[in-house]
Amino acid sequence: MPKISSDKLWDLAAAEVHSRETGGGEEDGRESVSERTVFLMGSKAGGKTTILLRCLDRDEPSKPTLALEYTFGRRARGHNTPKDIAHLWELGGGISLSDLVQIPITPVSIRSLSIILILDLSKPNSLWGTMENLLQAAQAQLEKVLSLTQQGQKTKSSTKHQTSGQPAARVLPKDFPDRELISPFPVPLLIIGSKYDLFQEFDSDKRKVVNKTLRFIAHYYAASLIFTSIKSDSLMSKTKSFFSHLAFGLDRGKTVSSDPTKPLFIPAGSDSFGQIGPPPATDVDITSRHVKTPKDQWKKAYEQIFPPENTNEQRELKDPAKDPRYNEPQIDSMRAQKDQELDQKKRNAAKSWKGLELDK
């Protein structure tokens, strides 16, 4: 991910403070700058950074995300108009760093926050675990922020200035399909199935299971679902349009495709449980197992076909002090000298203890 200069960060911070103080709207006859936040998370090495760079039209090589990285995008509405800003956060490490969701999900960002969950279609055995862990972590933080905000509202007098711009729980249209049977995610959610070029080589029966399961998950959370591949310009074009919709409020188009032989493209509210059908049939009678909800039933059925892999991902990342991207010759030489001094002290201490033991 590209580094952001301190000048640009200060400009963004100043714009954010100014926006909060003025409460948005127009000032001095000028259009206000729209600011949104998009938080990307998903499968480890699932293509998050590459997809983000393509959506931002940045022609630069992608690098592994160290932990949690920030960048931003700007888009002008027209000639001589202010540029809208999208604050973009990307979580690396798959599920191993899910605790970091508390950084991009805050009382300020939640007012205009969207989440993109990128799942690697070429690794179906880890797909459910990745989805479940990350969504649970994000939802817990979202509910915590909403709860704290509501408590803060109760302790303040209900003036227009104090209540304007406060975050509120997501509300679906009354005609949303299966509205009484789903559990909407607190903020707009987009699920992207990446590496479709590899996924389409799978056995057709296995593809159908993944397709139906992801359709169920997306509809259950009132989320949108699309499949993409960085090797397909047409799929990336559709992905970019949906990204621009979340980041800048642009039209996402009206394309809908639920054909299991083609890449899925299903905006929220375009599917239904009736169209998705029941969970995939398995040799084991899942109805006899202890399942409390339809989601649990789908999980049992999916894991019968795609047994989950070990989700205990290594939480230890590479030492950033040794990362060539952050070379600082003077600091690195001093660090090497201190490391040598530390090793020498350890050796001396070991000799002292051995000497004491010999005396005894």
125-139, 142-156, 213-227, 343-357: least confidently modelled range = 343-357
End-to-end CA distance of the chain: 59
Residue 76 has pLDDT above 90, yes or no: no
What mean pLDDT is reported for the chain? 83
> pLDDT band at residue 4, thresholds of 50, 70 and 90?
low
What pLDDT score was predicted for residue 48? 96
Percent of the chain with pLDDT over 90: 56
CATH says 6-22+31-305 is which class? alpha beta
Nearest CA-CA partner of 55 in 240, 303, 206? 240
What pLDDT score was predicted for residue 170? 75
Task: Please give the full DSSP string across 344-357, using - where no structure is assigned.
Answer: HHHHHHHHHHHHHH
Task: Please give the full DSSP string across 118-180, using - where no structure is assigned.
Answer: EEETT-GGGHHHHHHHHHHHHHHHHHHHHHHHHHHHHTS---HHHHTT--------TT-TTTT
Residue carrying structure tokens 């931002």? 56
Q: Give the pair of three-digit tokens for residue 358.
A: 């010999």
Q: Are 246 and 38 in contact (CB under 8 A)?
A: yes
Residue carrying structure tokens 């999980």? 299
> pLDDT band at residue 149, thresholds of 50, 70 and 90?
confident
In single-letter form, the type of residue at position 25 comes to G
The C-alpha atoms of residue 188 and residue 239 are separated, in whole angstroms, by 16
The C-alpha atoms of residue 208 and residue 7 are separated, in whole angstroms, by 50
90-94, 269-273, 306-310: least confidently modelled range = 306-310
Between 330 and 246, name the one with better pLDDT.
246
What pLDDT score was predicted for residue 192? 98
Residue 328 has pLDDT above 60, yes or no: yes
Q: Are 121 and 227 in contact (CB under 8 A)?
A: yes
What pLDDT score was predicted for residue 327? 74
> 90: part of which helix (H) or strand (E)?
strand 83-91
Between 63 and 274, name the one with better pLDDT.
274
H runs (alpha helix) in the chain: 6-22, 48-55, 127-154, 160-163, 196-199, 204-220, 233-248, 273-276, 294-305, 329-359
Q: Where are the domains of the chain?
A: 6-22+31-305
The C-alpha atoms of residue 115 and residue 89 are separated, in whole angstroms, by 10
Q: Quick one: residue 270, left, alpha or beta (phi over 0 = left, psi -120 to 50 = alpha)?
A: alpha
Between 237 and 2, name the one with better pLDDT.
237
